[in-house]
């Protein structure tokens, strides 16, 4: 029997990074407080001891600068992994990711490559207020040339991170900061998870719930409540929102005839809108009800706990929405 351990999501990410750095001397990390501090979330603890400060490189608080340097380093033989402490700071790196990293391969007629990973966090309910709580991954999905990864379990986080580092394109990897302590089984032996392959987290027959990142556990909790009401929910995690496994999602919606899409980003013009339209286009004639979208409320994330908690979908709200669709 192959060995399977229980690791937290944070440990799984760290293990993936450590393995890839051992495998490939070109891989290095850079970001704020990543070396001795091991990031503010302690995800990278211990790596600087093994790999040294040149490969676990503490930077000044200059997100655009070190992300731009990672682009240049990636073009010239390195494989950088950039750490953006909070996804909210994506605003600071947008030119480097969108106008530089994403376009260089295309603009150069396919001659230069930018094999880099930008790690960032997403997710509210940490009482961190409006500038440290957003889920802005949809911004990157909008840009051709980037790939966007949203792991929801330790197993997925490790396998997807290893794939991200080996990819020859710029990959944006969002980790839910509230899930770092979540435990799950992770095999001890080597594995990777391909991009563009959704995972059916729970099989069902009456309704499809497509959920990403932090919302996968919410969807699974809702599915349990639905089961108690006699409704069988299928929970699908795309794992990468670009490339997107449209086939698995559409096939599931055709089978169940109802679908909800849940994502912690803003609903308007967001990931839920895109996936809902994929379902509407692909499964229209099989649908018994309109596709329902559930995302963050269209407000800046507030500080006060009862206000903040109202902004994100919960087991209860997903359960109620699903029940209404099946009613």
Partner 1 sequence: MTTVIDRSRTSSGMDVDQALRMYRQMVTIRLFEEKVNDLYTRALMPGLAHLYIGEEAVAVGVCEALRPDDYITSTHRGHGHCLAKGARLDRMFAELLGKEAGYCKGKGGSMHIADPDTGNLGANAIVGGSAGIATGAALSAKRLKTDRVAVCFFGDGAMGQGLLYEVMNMAALWKLPVIYVCENNLYNEYTHNSETLAGDILTRAAGFGIQGESIDGQDIRQVYATAKETVDRVRRGAGPAFLICNTYRFMGHHVGDVNREYYRSKQEEQMWKTERDPIKLTAEWLANEDLADRARLERVEGEVRSEIEKAAEFALSAPFPRPDKVDQDVYA
Residues labelled catalytic: 132
Q: How far apart are CA 242 and CA 230, in angstroms?
A: 34
59 binds partner 1 (CB under 8 A): yes
CB 262, CB 318: distance < 8 Å: yes
64 binds partner 1 (CB under 8 A): yes
91 binds partner 1 (CB under 8 A): no
- The dihedral through the CA atoms of 209, 171, 58, 78 has a sign that is positive
Q: How far apart are CA 261 and CA 298, in angstroms?
A: 16
In the range 138-177, which residues lie near partner 1 by CB under 8 A? Answer: 144-145, 147, 168-169
Position among 2, 3, 109, 190 found at the interface with partner 1 (CB under 8 A): 109
| For partner 1, the closer CB: 86 or 180 | 86
CB 217, CB 152: distance < 8 Å: yes
Q: For residue 213, report the phi and psi dihedrals to the nearest 5 degrees.
A: 45, -120
End-to-end CA distance of the chain: 45
Binding mask 175-204 for partner 1 (x = CB under 8 A): ------------------------------
Position among 18, 19, 37, 65 found at the interface with partner 1 (CB under 8 A): 65
| For partner 1, the closer CB: 73 or 231 | 73
Position among 17, 21, 74, 325 found at the interface with partner 1 (CB under 8 A): 74
Residue of 114, 115, 63, 118 lying closest to 91 (CA atoms): 63
What is the nearest approach in angstroms of partner 1 to the Cβ of residue 169? 5
Position among 68, 238, 265, 270 found at the interface with partner 1 (CB under 8 A): 68
Distance of CA 275 to the CA centre of its chain: 15
Q: How far apart are CA 43 and CA 281, in angstroms?
A: 40
Q: What 3-state class would DSSP assign to 156?
A: helix
CB 60, CB 96: distance < 8 Å: no
Q: How far apart are CA 67 and CA 170, in angstroms?
A: 11
What is the nearest approach in angstroms of partner 1 to the Cβ of residue 199? 22
Q: How far apart are CA 261 and CA 267, in angstroms?
A: 10
Position among 41, 51, 66, 89 found at the interface with partner 1 (CB under 8 A): 66
24 binds partner 1 (CB under 8 A): no
Position among 4, 107, 203, 307 found at the interface with partner 1 (CB under 8 A): 107
Position among 2, 60, 306, 327 found at the interface with partner 1 (CB under 8 A): 60
What is the nearest approach in angstroms of partner 1 to the Cβ of residue 20? 16
| For partner 1, the closer CB: 1 or 111 | 111
Distance of CA 279 to the CA centre of its chain: 20
What does the binding site for partner 1 look like in residue numbers (CB under 8 A)? 28, 54, 59-60, 62, 64-78, 80, 95-96, 99-100, 104-115, 144-145, 147, 168-169
């Amino acid at each position: 029997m192959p060995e399977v351990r229980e690791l937290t999501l944070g440990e799984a990410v760290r293990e993936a990074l450590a393995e890839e750095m051992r495998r490939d001397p070109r891989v290095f990390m850079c970001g704020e407080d990543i070396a001795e501090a091991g990031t503010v979330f302690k995800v990278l603890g211990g790596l600087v001891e093994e790999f040294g400060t040149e490969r676990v490189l503490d930077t000044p608080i200059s997100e655009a600068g070190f992300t731009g340097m990672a682009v240049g380093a990636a073009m010239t033989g390195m494989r950088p992994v950039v750490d953006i402490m909070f996804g909210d700071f994506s605003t600071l790196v947008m030119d480097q990711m969108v106008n530089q990293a994403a376009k260089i391969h295309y603009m150069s007629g396919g001659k230069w490559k930018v094999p880099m990973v930008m790690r960032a966090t997403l997710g509210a309910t940490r009482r961190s207020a409006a500038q440290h709580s957003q889920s802005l991954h949809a911004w990157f999905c909008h840009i051709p040339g980037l790939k966007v990864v949203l792991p929801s379990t330790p197993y997925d986080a490790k396998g997807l991170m290893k794939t991200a580092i080996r990819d020859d394109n710029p990959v944006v990897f969002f980790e839910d900061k509230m899930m770092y302590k979540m435990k799950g089984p992770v095999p001890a032996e080597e594995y990777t998870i391909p991009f563009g392959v959704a995972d059916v987290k729970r099989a069902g027959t009456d309704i499809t719930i497509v959920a990403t990142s932090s919302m996968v556990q919410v969807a699974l909790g809702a599915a349990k409540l639905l089961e108690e009401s006699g409704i069988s929910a299928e929970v699908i995690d795309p794992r990468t929102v670009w490339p997107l496994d449209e086939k698995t999602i559409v096939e599931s919606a055709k089978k169940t005839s109802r679908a909800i899409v849940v994502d912690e980003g803003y609903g308007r013009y967001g990931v839920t809108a895109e996936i809902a339209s994929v379902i509407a286009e692909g499964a229209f004639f099989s649908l018994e009800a309109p596709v329902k979208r559930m995302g963050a409320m269209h407000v800046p994330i507030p500080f006060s706990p009862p206000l903040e908690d109202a902004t994100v979908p919960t087991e209860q709200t997903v359960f109620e929405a699903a029940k209404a669709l099946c009613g």
